[in-house]
């Protein structure tokens, strides 16, 4: 009995120790990475599934799975893009390294692109005609009822076809909206182990080593984070606020925003360059200087396609 109790206590203490290690490791990793920018060495799929790296295998990347996700969801972040580490989560056998929001398709994201057509059922008038047609024995009356019933049915079939077509168009539009949200939703790396995350991998140096083939970290120690994992009190402007306004944050800057929205958020910028492609697309690069930051934004036809944030 005492031996069994000892084993139980030992197991409980080991579990508590692992949980404490994961929690403290997560806090250390968040403090080091969150709010800082890195540069991608590979395209990142526009989904919360992100890129899986199985660290208990000789080749962590499953290139077939990676290619499949890129083909299915498209790239949210492209090779050479700078992305912000928005959160970092440590679980039992997993470290989630989330970029620019972590990827579209989480519980709160509506990824269903199907729109059901409006129901067009039989009207009371059509049912009454059918009933009268069954009960009438007069041939002339039956012919009149049949013509009217055919007309009503034809109109209903027309309305059903129109509803189907409207639903198809709505589905296509929603599909475009979902695709656009995927492009702006970021992505993530999932660092996976078969059992538990080794304690010696819960350090910034270890994580950077694991992601070295896929991410250029530059010199993060000298980089100023654009926001922190824990928010500062509302009364004091945080590092993420813009021009001292706590209601506006640099993290609100997203791909797909219009040049007007960015100007409202960051103020008037300075145009660095402008060019027009053979297809007639106008590309502009603007510089903004809110507070202690320098923000460079690339627009194509007035829409944000790329941006970078650095401290001054």
Which of the pair, 36 or 236, is modelled with greater confidence?
Answer: 36
User: Is residue 230 predicted with pLDDT exceeding 70?
Assistant: no
pLDDT tens for each residue of 180-217:
777 778 999 999 999 999 999 999 999 999 999 999 99
Helices (runs of H) and strands (runs of E) counted in the chain: 6, 14
Determine what percent of the chain is predicted with pLDDT higher than 70: 84
Which of the pair, 305 or 78, is modelled with greater confidence?
Answer: 78
Element (H, E) at 135: helix 124-135
| Residue 3 confidence (pLDDT) | 56
In the chain, residues under CATH classification 3.30.1450.10 are: 224-312
pLDDT tens for each residue of 101-133:
899 887 666 777 888 888 889 999 999 999 999
> Distance between CA 118 and CA 145 in Å, rounded?
28
Mean pLDDT of 144-167: 92
pLDDT tens for each residue of 273-302:
888 877 677 888 988 888 778 888 988 888
pTM over 0.75: no
CB proximity list for 76: less than 8 A, separation 6 or greater: 44, 45, 46, 47, 100, 103, 104, 182, 183, 184, 185, 186, 187
Beta-bridged to residue 310, according to DSSP, are 294
- Angle subtended by helix axes 124-135 and 139-184, to nearest 10: 150
CATH topology of domain 224-312: Beta-lactamase Inhibitory Protein; Chain:B, domain 1 (3.30.1450)
Which of the pair, 112 or 136, is modelled with greater confidence?
Answer: 136
DSSP state of 199: G
54-58, 88-92, 103-107, 114-118: lowest mean pLDDT where?
A: 103-107
| Residue 254 confidence (pLDDT) | 84
| Residue 312 confidence (pLDDT) | 67
Cβ(104)–Cβ(48) under 8 Å?
Answer: yes
Q: In 3D, which of 282, 68, 289, 73 has the Cα closest to residue 183?
A: 73
* In the block, residue with structure tokens 């409980």: 12
DSSP assignment of 213-279: TTEE---GGGPPPSS-SSPPPTTS--TTEETTEEEEEGGG--TT-BHHHHHHHH---EEEEEEE-TT
| Residue 8 confidence (pLDDT) | 45
């Amino acid at each position: 009995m005492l031996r069994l109790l000892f084993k139980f206590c030992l197991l409980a203490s080991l579990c508590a120790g692992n949980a404490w290690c994961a929690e403290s490791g997560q806090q250390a990793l968040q403090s080091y990475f969150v709010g800082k920018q890195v540069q991608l060495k590979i395209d990142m799929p526009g989904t919360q599934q992100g890129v899986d790296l199985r660290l208990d295998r000789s080749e962590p990347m499953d290139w077939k799975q990676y290619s499949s996700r890129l083909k299915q969801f498209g790239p949210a972040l492209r090779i050479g893009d700078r992305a912000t580490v928005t959160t970092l989560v440590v679980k039992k056998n997993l470290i989630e390294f989330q970029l620019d929001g972590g990827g579209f398709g989480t519980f709160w994201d509506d990824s269903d692109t199907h729109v059901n057509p409006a129901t067009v059922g039989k009207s009371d008038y059509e049912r009454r005609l059918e009933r009268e047609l069954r009960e009438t024995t007069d041939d002339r009356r039956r012919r009149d009822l049949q013509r009217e019933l055919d007309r009503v049915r034809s109109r209903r079939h027309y309305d059903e076809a129109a509803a189907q077509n409207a639903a198809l168009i709505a589905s296509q539009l929603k599909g475009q909206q979902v695709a656009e949200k995927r492009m702006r939703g970021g992505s993530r790396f999932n660092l996976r182990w078969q059992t538990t995350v080794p304690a010696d991998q819960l350090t910034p140096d270890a994580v950077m080593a694991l992601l070295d083939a896929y991410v250029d970290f530059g010199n993060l120690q000298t980089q100023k984070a654009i926001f922190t994992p824990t928010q500062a009190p509302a009364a004091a402007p945080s590092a993420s606020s813009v021009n001292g306004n706590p209601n506006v944050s640099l993290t609100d800057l997203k791909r797909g925003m219009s040049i007007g929205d960015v100007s409202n958020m960051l103020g008037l910028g300075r145009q660095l360059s402008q060019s027009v492609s053979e297809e007639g697309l106008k590309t502009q690069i603007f510089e903004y200087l809110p507070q202690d930051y320098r923000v460079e934004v690339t627009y194509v036809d007035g829409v944000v396609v790329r941006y970078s944030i650095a401290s001054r």
